A and B are shown apart, each in its own frame.
Chain A
């Protein structure tokens, strides 16, 4: 099963998100970058599926040249090749991002499975997967926290009809997702798209040999300058810091009366 996983380079920040002076973006000068937890699970799932059923895993990202770092991280986890759609340093809205993803997919053989994170770790619009799937004419299920390939029903490499047409034997994947009322189960024919959520699996840490291999891997770069979409950022504001600091009530046994007072105040005693 050939799989393409779309990932996004996002800043890794602490409790407080630093903003640029104009308030239009996150100030990333002193931040590291990562891929979001949903996408990390997507890469892990793809690597496992390919290991179990054969096929190749391609990771694709849209962003600046530096996003190659995130592709290599995924390669170190076990993905086979990386595609960087270089759109420069401008932040893209979901529409433009989807256009860029499609540009990256254009020269790739059509995959059996297109994996997304349910939403990016920074913007969190949750649109790109749906937009790309729609443009490709693929069915998509979002919020997925479990994927199983139906045993024996997975097409061999190359057994998939050209142009991503649905295979004859119907459902080949079982995707599940949690709802407050229970678990929803979807049967999917490949090719298909799935957007996954953290909790799907426990992503592995890259091994040292994996990192070395990833470092040497050649990335395919596609340059793309998509038209801006309809969504614009007008400004970012940090929420008021209303978290009260911890108030020590005392030390050792001396603190007991104060603890009782607090509990009384809360109506617990």
Chain B
């Protein structure tokens, strides 16, 4: 038995593909004294790595996941553990054909070679399928099968050879001691090891190990059923593990692949079967392995028929029997993405969980970079464990969303699709009024936010000729022309928008200014009452966040950030608080509600509710003042993300409904309308050229590229400053541009509207890639009703980032002409901001 050292620089728990990869990359980056602890035996400890189907389809709609996958494929190949076999996703239903076209767009956007093919070609590639039941295929030649156990063993061996790694197999972690919320030591049945860093890479057991330290890793073990049917003589004759392309029968939510002499059939179609991490059998008690549970055949029965339909030529034979069938365990998370990074709950506890075989090595590399440098090459905000609000880490939430999400694994998921489960968890004080007005709610961070109001349907008539109908169901899904009507009502008169989902932090103390200066890019040493919009950078100079800081007093600031990123931002700010206690942070999100009031009539409306002076002289643009609205103390912020005259009105949460009523009442004579987040987040923002965190802004782009560099660089040091200075010196590799779609007419004879994520290509149809290797793709898309155009935002390399340049957007396998209307930050609508500053 391996002796466990008394101290380690870092302890990694779990020797699946993720843990092994983390150790390997840490060693590559110069870490020494790494300890890897594994409960099971090596090389196959019995986790999900040991039974996974091990194939990799590189294309995903998510850029982050595609990047992790393609990086992983490079690593598997370098280790000699990858066999390319090609893969084809097939469509049985017309809706799936459309989805395959959308996958084609993602393949182009992220630079993966792929092709749409007809059923005849599918049958040429995979001679056993029945092409008569198929409508189309999406062929990816680089699809491969890998050996993650072997890859993991090689990674371990390299790290051991470097003198960097001690491996303790068949060793059980019995506790993780903390002191003052910091990791101190890992206890095992073979002795304790002192360390300040623990990486939990325990797959389905991760929640259980994290809990030993007092942290939560929000995932649940869930069943994915698989069976092997054989022998298939044609496969045996091939003499290899895999000689034929893998088929994903997308509409049946299944896959079929050669596995030696067998056809392996896997399903994501059965009912969600969730397990508890504490109830997974031990290695000794399991019939096969802890993560290969007894097959429940009744759940798979419908899939048998569908497998026979597609692969009847080899499955409907008396000699082809079901030789192996399992309920394999994998990890599901509330949003389907991995759970990576430092725990916001326990200092020194890191999660590397909910990772598929296809992402394992790439995740290991990113985790090692993150642990070493504080950030990593790929933007990981969608996988960051800190993205979960406390309620989203609970067992109830995880199970509800995992239940709903499981069948979406191969599903057709609209980019705006809303969850049905675990809704109504966070309600603004305006909620009753919003419901009464027929709000259609979209969720962000658990908050229910009106996306539009059905009560505004009559506005369609008023603005009818300026509103674009979307005749195609896909384009119109989770959208309404009412959004555009609300937008025009705001621009013509006024609108009120619920912004309570903002996350808000009060920072105070003698060191508050210095602390915030260090966290942000903009100069915050401004007079009391000033509002500063500022990027928040990663150490590498990319976007960590963008937010607004209001100076409430010499030593007191309010940080206001988007609801989508509030949990991440809170963790980032809290984890950088000065050690001397000179600044403190209080999350006031639950104490404050926010109502946006904007439009040319906004000042008249607000003035009617208050005795305070709300003139431009009293509250100039970019300042904040306390006023009383109908007796309610309100912090009025003269800013706008929709580019019009008005305020964000911040009030005590419990007085929100009174505030709503006061504004609605005063606004009635002016024709005020409630407007949803469709206006705030899409139409109003796009025509004003405002950038959105997670869309235009992420860790892979810098402020110069995003057009958000400031005229001056403040003297104070701040996170990412060196990289920011370097970016200012050089020419940007890409510039964020606003493009207009010049002709919407598609092949079906109806106008089509790109939704975001599509590749921008040259007039000749060539992919556009900048000198850093980043492909140009649509970051946001939506109508600009005041401009009368459908707008796209995309980063373009310098040669294309020239106003007037003609390019194309590829949407649903068709190309539409677009023109670069703006290169950089200047908006298309009201470029001088005269309305906002009126």
A32–B323 touching, CB < 8 Å: no
Q: Known contacts being A14-B287, A32-B287, is A245 close to B304, with CB within 8 Å?
A: no
B376–chain A nearest beta-carbon distance, Å:
33
Contact with B along A22-48 (1 / 0, CB 8 A): 000000001111000000000000000
A16 at the interface (CB under 8 A from B): yes
Residues of B within 8 A of A220 (CB): none
Q: Are A207 and B317 in contact (CB under 8 A)?
A: yes
Q: How far is the CB of B22 from chain A (nearest CB, A)?
A: 23
Give complex CA distance A12, B294 in Å: 8
Contacts A16-B282, A215-B301 given; indicate if A30 touches B1 (C-beta within 8 A). Answer: no
Cβ of A212 and Cβ of B297 under 8 Å apart?
Answer: no
Known: A32-B294, A208-B320. 12 other contacts (CB 8 A): A13-B287, A15-B284, A15-B285, A30-B279, A32-B287, A72-B297, A204-B321, A205-B322, A207-B317, A209-B308, A212-B301, A247-B1
Offer 16 A-B interface pairs, CB within 8 angstroms, sorted by A. Answer: A12-B294, A14-B285, A14-B286, A15-B283, A30-B293, A69-B297, A205-B322, A205-B323, A206-B322, A207-B315, A209-B308, A209-B316, A212-B305, A212-B308, A245-B1, A248-B1
- Indicate if the CB atoms of A208 and B301 lie closer than 8 Å: no
Residues on A lying within 8 angstroms of B by beta carbon are 12-18, 30-33, 69, 72, 204-209, 211-212, 215, 245, 247-248
The reply to whether B318 and A207 form a contact with Cβ atoms under 8 Å apart is: yes
| A208:B170 contact, CB within 8 angstroms | no
> Which residues on B are within 8 Å of A, measured CB to CB?
1, 170, 229, 279, 281-288, 293-295, 297-298, 301, 304-305, 307-308, 315-318, 320-323
Contacts of B298 in A (CB 8 A): 69, 215
CA distance A248 to B2 in the complex (A): 9
- CB-CB under 8 A from A13, the residues of chain B are 285, 287
Chain B min CB distance to A254 (Å)? 14
Select the residue from A33, A204, A208 with max chain B CB neighbours within 10 A.
Answer: A208
| Chain A hits for B315, CB < 8 A | 207-208
Of A15, A72, A204, which is in contact with the most chain B CB atoms at under 10 Å from its CB? A15
Let me know if B285 and A16 touch, CB within 8 A: yes
The answer to whether B322 touches A30 (Cβ under 8 A) is no
CB neighbours (8 Å) of A18 from chain B are 281, 285
Collect the chain B residues with CB atoms within 8 Å of residue A212's CB. Answer: 301, 304-305, 308
**CA A206 – CA B287 in complex, angstroms?**
20
Give CA–CA (A16, B229) in the complex, Å.
29
A15 to B279, CA, bound (A): 17
* Nearest A residue to B326, CB-CB: A32
Residues of chain B with a CB closer than 8 A to A12's CB? 287, 294
By CB atoms of chain A within 10 A, which of B297, B305, B316 has the most? Answer: B297
The distance in angstroms between the C-alpha atoms of A206 and B315, with both chains bound, is: 11
**Would you call A208 and B308 a contact (CB within 8 A)?**
yes
* Nearest CB on B from A250, distance (A): 12
- Inter-subunit contact A245/B170 (CB<8 Å): yes
Whole-angstrom CA separation of A12 from B296 in the bound complex: 13
Min CB distance A158 to B, Å, is 28
**B285 / chain A contacts, CB cutoff of 8 Å:** 13-18, 30
Most buried by A among B170, B315, B321: B321
Decide if B170 touches A207 in the complex (CB within 8 Å): no
The winner among B282, B287, B317 for most chain A CB atoms within 10 A is B287
A248 contacts which chain B residues (CB < 8 A)? 1
The CA of A14 and the CA of B280, in the complex, are separated in Å by 13
The residue in A12, A209, A247 that gathers the most chain B C-beta atoms within 10 A of its C-beta is: A209
CB < 8 Å neighbour of B321 from A16, A30, A207, A215: A207
Chain B residues closer than 8 Å to A205, beta-carbon distance = 321-323
A33 touching B320 in the complex, CB below 8 Å, given contacts A14-B286, A15-B284, A211-B304:
no
Is B294 touching A31 in the complex (CB atoms < 8 A)?
yes
Kindly name the residue among A18, A30, A204 whose own CB sees the greatest number of chain B CB atoms within 10 A: A30
| Bound CA span A56–B282, Å | 43
